[in-house]
Structure 1
Amino acid sequence: MSASPILITGGAQRLGRHCAERLCDDGHPVIISYRRERPALEGLRARGIVTLQADFGDQAGIRDFIARLRETTPSLRAIVHNASDWLPDAEGDEAADNFEHLFRVHMLAPYMINLEARELLEACGEPLRDIVHMTDYVASRGSRKHIAYAASKAGLENLTLSFAARYAPAIQVNTIAPAMIMLGENDDEAYAEKARAKSALATIPGPGVIYESLRYLLDNRYVTGTTLPVDGGRHLR
């Protein structure tokens, strides 16, 4: 446990929220970013988790978030880049707009935060300091229906290599690349059955496996510049 908080971007729902709550359970101070107000935030705030609204859709929003982050804490134990958006490919101007949006959320925001929050990590005073990028199974496989999404996640995965080399040995930088981890609110059993069939382990494990993967990276002193697949063996299919 560190006195310096762990930042999780996009921490108000799904995997980000689960990791924030588990870190809090383990005694870590936690800061999350969120895009819009939602009922779950009140529960997180009641537990002492600091919540910062952020819009990573443009450079001004990213810079505003970084400024408020610096006002909130003098140091960070880790940064977990979990903020994400899921947009299908479109046509014409909408396609270009969607690609630019995904680039800003998945690549530009982590890039700028990593550069400008480095001093917060270095001020931690702990032997372990980490940056973790949350990408996706499709970053290494591509996607027929979500080309822009897959490309921007692949770009985030590549940032891992560059920042790991640049920030070593003081800061470890790694990636977690999940596949199907948990169902959405509107997913039915037919969809779940198809999803389970895509992995060798034939299961939808739930968010706990992502927290276990995050803990492994946060606790290990000899891993940097790597991508940890959490996909149930999809590559075996």
Structure 2
Amino acid sequence: MAKRILITGAGRRLGKVLAEHYLAQGWFVVAHYNSACELAEHNNLSCVQADLSRRDDVQRLCDELPSFSQFDAVIHNASCFIPDTSASDTLQHFELHYRVHVESPAVITAALGPLWSDQAAMICISDIYADIPNQRFSAYCASKAALQNWSLSMAQRLKGLVRVNVIQPGPIQFLPEHDDAYRQKVLSQSLVGKELGYGAIVKACDYLLAADAVTGSVMRVDGGRFVANRYDQTFTD
């Protein structure tokens, strides 16, 4: 039987790349998406729509999970990234990020309790902003930090049953709306100094899913941005 993996936020961008990668590796992929799914039909693919900011949608997703039998892996990838200045209601703004990044992974993981296969693994996609605050995205940063802390708690709780690890992406893949000036500024804050692409995260996931001695870890996949000399970025001669 093919291994089974649940990937949230799999309809576009990184999640889509991850889903296509594991399909190519022979896995059966349960791909969650919110509003748009760009994945092509595949015999080993099942797509499930749910708005993770809505509790009834999350419950409906959880109710469907037993129909897929056991799971060998889960990647909590779904995300929302909204600047604070776009929010008209601060409470709703924080609640949106918390529900998508923390509450829904917790509820989904609880629903998976009897469905884990032997030697299963879970990966949570956090962000280097979990450790480096950004005042423009305080709700995003705070909720990603909460996701990361919760994930490490799950590594403790699920010991012996599921290995749980965190990936902190950095400047991996630019979006079409990012102009050259923005790209150069971001890359100047990276030790690698080049756009790495979603493939860098795919390689990290492959490693963590296979590394049976690794759990409770936080892996930065950011081209070295976290340890770049931010003093040099702030002051010039």
The answer to whether TM tops 0.5 is: yes
Q: Does 1:136 align with 2:127?
A: yes
| Deviation of the 1:91 alpha carbon | 8.1
Equivalent residues in 2 for 1:23-172, closer than 5 Å: 23-38=22-37, 40-41=38-39, 43=40, 45-46=41-42, 48-71=44-67, 73-90=68-85, 94-121=89-116, 124=117, 126=118, 128-172=119-163
Instruction: Tell me the SS of whatever aligns to 2:123.
Output: strand
Contact 1:195 1:204 in 2 (8 A): no
Report the Cα distance in structure 2 between the residues aligned to 1:209 and 1:19, rounded to whole angstroms: 11
- Counterpart amino acid of residue 63 in structure 2: A
Partner residue, 2:14: 15
Report the aligned-residue RMSD.
1.5
Moved beyond 6 Å, runs of 4+: none
Q: Does 1:236 align with 2:219?
A: no
Gaps of 5+ in 1: none
Distance 1:192 1:93, change over 3 A: closer
Partner residue, 2:233: none
Distance 1:49 1:167, change over 3 A: same
Report the Cα distance in structure 1 between the residues aligned to 2:228 and 2:58, rounded to whole angstroms: 39
| Deviation of the 1:36 alpha carbon | 1.2
Instruction: Tell me the SS of whatever aligns to 1:19.
Output: helix
**TM-score, normalised to structure 2's length?**
0.92
| Deviation of the 1:204 alpha carbon | 1.2
Report the Cα distance in structure 2 between the residues aligned to 1:141 and 1:212, rounded to whole angstroms: 24
| Deviation of the 1:47 alpha carbon | 5.8
- Counterpart amino acid of residue 168 in structure 2: A
Report the Cα distance in structure 2 between the residues aligned to 1:76 and 1:98, rounded to whole angstroms: 32
Gaps of 5+ in 2: 230-237
Report the Cα distance in structure 2 between the residues aligned to 1:172 and 1:59, rounded to whole angstroms: 26
Number of residue pairs aligned between Structure 1 and Structure 2:
228
Report the Cα distance in structure 2 between the residues aligned to 1:148 and 1:92, rounded to whole angstroms: 10
Report the Cα distance in structure 2 between the residues aligned to 1:144 and 1:87, rounded to whole angstroms: 12
Contact 1:173 1:225 in 2 (8 A): yes
Moved more, 202-211 or 191-200: 191-200
Q: Percent identity?
A: 32
Distance 1:26 1:92, change over 3 A: closer
Distance 1:197 1:115, change over 3 A: same
Structure holding more strand per residue: 2
